[in-house]
Structure 1
């Protein structure tokens, strides 16, 4: 079996919002890296920007080696989660 842990004061999406994806992905990432989720540091817009940058970087590296599938793609470098720090945002 498994243990169930309850966390209080988690950030929640506004009522009526259909934007649950960024919350779900961030929770999953925090759980997998063993980080706590702090409501006062949760910035959905910054997190969206971060995830877009990660996907863009991976897609660019995949294109650079002319990979046609994820199997042929270069290995993703190991990374440390830094979900609360976004230092610069660039419009592309």
Structure 2
């Protein structure tokens, strides 16, 4: 029996989200955490290489966007009461 380690939970959640977004059957038994961990690492590495080849820069290099300081309060019609 495979014992899932604490660090495997993150990759399981990522895999579950991928299965849901792709509308695939969710596998709850025999989930290969190490395979998915390596696969996601390779996908992220490839994504970084593609960005580098195309000359993209990180969002961190961009100046911060101005934030809206005014927050409108909801109208009474928008407020829903659950009883």
Q: Which has the larger radius of gyration?
A: 2
Counterparts of 2:24 and 2:14, CA distance in 1: 13
Structure with greater contact order relative to length (CA < 8 Å, sep ≥ 6): 1
Size of the alignment, in residue pairs? 56
Higher percent of residues as helix: 2
Structure 1 moving runs of 4+ over 2 Å: none
Q: Secondary structure at the match of 1:62?
A: helix
1:26-84 Cα offsets, whole Å, 9 max, x none, are 011111111112213x11010011101100110001111221136xxxxxxxxxxxxxx
Structure 1 counterpart of 2:25: 36
Of the three residues 40, 64, 67, the one matched with 1:51 is 40
CA RMSD across the alignment: 2.0
TM-score (norm 1): 0.53
Unmatched 5+ stretches in structure 1: 1-12, 71-92
TM-score norm. by structure 2 comes to 0.58
Residue 77 (structure 1) aligns with = none
Give unpaired runs (5+ residues) of structure 2.
60-83
